[in-house]
Structure 1
């Protein structure tokens, strides 16, 4: 949905005085949540929502030294350089078309898609969706948001450990079912990623169109799975769906030759979150009679940032099972009071 109110730009300008994290590693979800609220017709609620979220916002880290085209490799994956990276991408996006910058950096960043618990790629997907709305949507705050998203991704870039290919799976749903849980489900996301050992073979494609179709399949399967498995860790398991959906949203802005590697990276991200947090047993799910608009209104009133973003993804899928999963996220996650 195109925002003609100016509220999204106002919110992004307000947020760009803050950093992408708090307490040293927890993610600032506000830029993603406000974009979802505006996109789904809830723009009037944005500033009230931000007022309630404000206590979670911190100032950005101090800069260290500029990242340059000649030394970016040494700064990749260094969270202490978050502000340096944001400023680097700000300069890049001031000097070149945003699609050109994105196409150059996307394949460099994909191997670290799981870094920051997948939040950087999710923030990138929200930023790109806004820029793709129309030529008039390419405002300075939205270009700056892409710089913040890419800078966060570069700073939190974290490749996965070497993984053993396991038996091939015929579908995305079967592949997610076959992902082996990590041996010990404790600690934070970074510690859990280090324990990954192998994934089923899935997520390859011979051509761009097949890659896109399989990515749609993955987003659908991971969204559906939340309805039956989200209770394993209600907050973290939303990312098994929102991360691949961020990649799917970005495809139209990318050269087609990047679509197949994007699918492969999205699969590893979804599988990694599934392995790190999936419960032992599935739970029954209840259908819903709510319309997509009513489901999102419920998520917006609930107020939790993860719930808003997951429901936004569920509305992209837009089938009854996905809507039931979104309602399940409202039930499982604590509301913002």
Structure 2
């Protein structure tokens, strides 16, 4: 973190607001400001937030406490978002944040696609800030509580879940092949709930979406997860036109899980891979177009990014201003840092997001 003071100030401002706006749209503020600060654009954070915050709703009030006895019945009830945020705020005041995360991560994973995967993405950004410092600050711990509370309130498993490595499945494909094999819902209209509701009648689901090979152990789970983030990011360049905003989540959701792994017990890594695959596959089946768009012709994104640096790529995303473009470019930078030889491909994907998504 280049400027943790700015980040903490921004998070404090955001923690007076709710996890959603307009009744169901996600509050992207905490995720975007974390990415901006991380990549050296702290000076832009408060002006960006001044404009964005005008759209946000107030933090919902807590009404009925969530307890160890009633949490299951409260899970997935968005009317209790305030109760869930208050619950995690209490837990994090009583116990180390890693302990709270280790208990609740496996409870929440079955609902990873909730709210179009935004809650897990917010958790991933929150965990990254906590891992970045030797002494977590109050606002960063509070952000984890808000993120986990949002996930718990919106928790919703798929109507036909994917079970990577479950009995009767025999996935052998790598991430690129597996993403290409994901079947598409027949009717790509309406919101994500309308689309995912078609899964029980979608030919090839879940069999066609269960081709990713399961991990033999924690290290392979991490390797496969990193590969999934890479391939989903690269794939956006050719398929993002199907739904420019929504398809970024096919990459940013598994990226959030990958960022969280170092804070989790290793025995949770395989389940984390499986959930990340479910999230990426669900977004792909709901929004991916049937045919790719050309991205290598003269004048297209690939030809415009061969000589840029990571700093320049993110600066363009920051100037663009849209939270999805900022977050997607943040993920692209992670991929390029891990595999520099892939930089031109992921820079192209980032450029496509700027071209397709309306700037803020």
Q: TM-score range by the shorter chain?
A: over 0.9
1:126 corresponds to: 125
- 1:149 has 2:173 as partner: no
CA distance 1:163–1:76, shift in 2 (3 Å): closer
Task: Compute the displacement of 1:135 (Å).
Answer: 1.5
C-alpha distance in structure 2 between counterparts of 1:30 and 1:178, whole Å: 34
Matched, 1:330 2:340: no
Q: Give me the TM-score of the superposition, normalised by structure 1.
A: 0.96
1:64 positional shift: 2.4
What secondary structure does 2:132 align onto?
coil
- The normalised TM-score by structure 2 is 0.90
Q: 1:51 to 1:210 in 2, by over 3 A?
A: same
Cα displacement (A) at 1:284: 1.5
Secondary structure of the structure 1 residue equivalent to 2:237? helix
Q: Which runs of 4+ in 1 moved over 4 A?
A: 163-167
8 Å Cα contact 1:111-1:265 kept in structure 2? yes
Q: Would you say the 8 A contact 1:203–1:264 is kept in 2?
A: no
Tell me: CA distance 1:105–1:52, structure 2 relative to 1, closer, same or farther (3 Å): same
Asked if the contact 2:171–2:213 (Cα under 8 Å) also holds between the matched residues in 1, the reply is no
* Bigger shift: residues 54-63 or 219-228: 54-63
Query: Which of residues 319, 332, 345 in structure 2 aligns to 1:321?
Result: 345
1:190-218 deviation digits (Å, cap 9, x = unpaired): 22122123213215111000000000000
Q: Write out per-residue CA displacement over residues 279-307 of structure 1, whole angstroms, 9 at most, x where no aligned residue.
A: 12101224212211101000000000000
Tell me the equivalent position of 1:102. Answer: 101
Quote the residue 2:47 is aligned against.
Answer: 48
Whether contact under 8 Å (2:173, 2:211) holds in the other structure is: no
Given the alignment of the two structures, is residue 283 of structure 1 paired with residue 293 of structure 2, yes or no? yes
Matched, 1:304 2:303: no
2:175, 2:212 within 8 Å by CA — same for their partners in 1? yes
Deviation of 1:5 after TM superposition, in Å, equals 4.9
Which sections of structure 1, spanning at least 5 residues, go unmatched?
Answer: none
Q: Is 1:236 aligned to 2:260, yes or no?
A: no
Q: State the match for 1:195 in structure 2.
A: 198
Please say if residues 170 and 213 of structure 2, whose CA atoms lie closer than 8 Å, have aligned partners that are also in contact.
no
What displacement does 1:259 show? 0.2
Question: 1:330 is paired with a residue of what secondary structure?
Answer: helix
Q: Deviations over 1:204-236 (max 9, x none)?
A: 111000000000000000000000000000000
Higher mean displacement: 306-315 or 45-54: 45-54
The structural deviation recorded for 1:44 is 0.6
How many residue pairs were aligned?
Answer: 334
> Gaps (5+ residues) in structure 2?
163-167, 200-204, 296-300, 337-342
User: Which residue does 2:279 correspond to in 1?
Assistant: 269
Query: 2:185 aligned with 1:185, yes or no?
Result: no
Partner of 1:220: 230
CA shift at 1:62, angstroms? 2.8
